[in-house]
Amino acid sequence: MRLLAVGHEFSPYGPSHWGVLVVFAAGAVALGWVRRARRGRGSYLLSLALAVTILVVYAADTVYSFAATGVDLPLHLSDLVPLAAAYALLSRRQWAYALTYYWGLVLSTQALVSPALTGPDV
């Protein structure tokens, strides 16, 4: 049974690319709004939930990548961003937030604006 039906090859700025851009922008605005609305313990619980989610997704992606292609070396800087983000959320250290902010600002924006062109468009 096929879970993904591939209609055609991915094209930059096609419908699925614009969909991802809209979801990313809406999610960023929603997270910023929710984060500002919560104070004290609620803020810490939100940070904890986001950090655990990041670590679980990162671990699942790493295991899947290793199982599918073997060891992916060399590691790229973008491979460390989820770990830095989870650490920043858990420790609340200013340098970790700054590192995540600048890495995320550059790397995420680059990945969204100039996506990989090798892959199916779903």
Q: What is the pLDDT of residues 93-120, one digit of tens each?
A: 999 989 988 888 777 777 777 766 555 5
Query: Taking the alpha carbons of 115, 117, 119, 122 in that order, is the dihedral positive or negative?
Result: positive
pLDDT digits (tens, 9 = 90+) for 4-54: 555 566 677 777 778 888 888 898 888 878 777 777 777 788 889 989 999
Residue 54: phi and psi, rounded to 5, are -60, -45
CA atoms within 13 A on the CB side of 1: 1
75-90: average pLDDT: 86
The pLDDT assigned to 30 comes to 87
Both structure tokens of 98: 């700054």
Higher pLDDT residue, 40 or 88? 88
Higher pLDDT residue, 88 or 111? 88
Tell me how far apart the alpha carbons of residues 21 and 24 are, in angstroms, rounded to a whole number.
Answer: 5
